[in-house]
Each structure stands twice: as structure tokens, then as C-alpha cells.
Structure 1
Amino acid sequence: MTHYRSALRAEAKALLRADPLFADVKCVISSAKLDPDSLPCWSVSTPGEDREDLSSTQFRADTDLVVALSIKGDADTIEDELDAHSEKIELLLIEGLKKNTGVQGVLLRRTETKTGPELLHVTGSVMMLFVVTGFIQDE
């Protein structure tokens, strides 16, 4: 049986790949050093989790789900592009994860953006931290 965090990451990736922005873009690990010529690229990870035992067979898991997107663009508009992309990511994941995985809640906890010159390009990244709450049965 697939681990619930693996299933959560897989579903998040599937939801993002269904969107044209992500469909043909390489998915990379979030800690990779990015070459501006390889942009855009994105990642999905589950770096942390809080648990609460509810019974001997069930626990509540508040899983951190991080989505990162890096793009290159124009200095005057890159932050606006990142804002538009983050809005789309939020809509896709909050509704899609609730509908497709049966989790009880998906909360966008934090969004961070970063821009800057990278050799001959202007690059930007958005990192979004979601907290996904589910009630898990122990096997």
C-alpha cells in the first residue's frame, strides 16, 4: 500500500500537471541549484508533519506540503507573474486535494517570493507552504 505522504505528493503533482503552465515543465527536487536556462521548473515536497494520536488505530496528521515554482521573466512583471501563478496553484491544490484524496483540510499557511538577477536573466521563485490535515488509520 502506498504511504499517505507519497499519495499526497503524487496527487498534488497530478493536479499541477493538469494545468498548461506545469504540463510540459520539468519537476525537480526543491533543493536543487537551478540553471536559468532550465526554467521554468517546479517541485512538490512534504518536509514535515505534526501528529496527534486519536486512538490506538487512528491519528491526525497535519502534513506540510511545499510547492515551489521558479521562472525567468521581465524585471517589471516577474512579481506579477509569480502572484498569478501562486493564485492558480492555490486554487488547484486546495479544491483538488480535498476532492481527490479525502483529506479534511488544506490550508495555505505561507507564500514567499524571491526575485533577482541571475547572469543574463531575471529569475523569480514562489514557495507555498500548505498544511494538509487528514485522519489516518494505522494498518
Structure 2
Amino acid sequence: MGHFVTYFALMLASWGIRLCPRLYLPSGHSVLSLEIANITRAFVEANIYTVFTVLILMTPAKMFTTHKGRNLKFLFVMPYMLQYFCCFWSTAQNIKDMLIKPEMLAVKDYLPAHLKMISILVLQLLAMIEIGLVLFYSLKKEPHQMK
């Protein structure tokens, strides 16, 4: 995978997670509503985090290789993964809180509301898996030869 394709795949997945979709019940209403973060701010944050991660992936492997031949690039990529895991965790907590609220039983369309919650969680989980696989294969393809 080229560096631009890697950047584009990571940026789109991270942008989707940085939107931090949150479900809520407006007071006095029985319809589930969706709230997302500022689109522009989420896009800028996703770009900034992804640029630094791709720059780390672009640096030569010998700069991060120990004398025993272990590549330590994953240490610099791990904060990127943990940042998006925190966003995913907050979405999962929001959905768990929504599921245990007694007000959810009064929602007009009970089944579509649960399907919305499940689809949001699944889409974020797929984005996390995409980020993990792209980073894994980007780190995996580099040679670890020491001379």
C-alpha cells in the first residue's frame, strides 16, 4: 500500500471515529436523536493525528530497530490507536447508558432505535478494525535487517 493510500484510509476511518456520534433523548420527546462533534474540527484533528502517524510509517525502519533486530515503530503508533479506542469506548458507554435508561421503553419506534444504536457501534468497530489492520500491515511490510 502506498503512503497516500495508507494516509487516506487512516484519515477516513479516524474522521468517522472522531465525529463521536452520541445518541440522546430530548426532554419531552420520545424520538431518539443523534448528536455528532463539529465536522470541521473532527476533520482537522483526524488529519493532524494521521499525518504524524504516516510520517512515522514513512521513516526508515533502521531508525527504529534495536541491536537485536526488533522494530519499535509500534511504540510510536500506539498512541494513535489508543486515542481512537478512547473515542470508540465513549460511544460504547453512551450506547450502554441509552440501553439501560427507562425512558428508552417509551420511545415510539423501539426496534429502529436499537438498530440505530447497534449500527453506530458496528460502524465504529469496523473503523477501529480498519485502522488496526492498516497499521499492522504497514508496520509488518518493512524489512528489519541490521548491517
Q: Which is greater in Rg? A: 2
Q: Report which of the two has the higher share of strand.
A: 1
Same fold (TM over 0.5): no
Q: Report which of the two has the higher share of helix.
A: 2
TM-score, with length taken from structure 2: 0.30
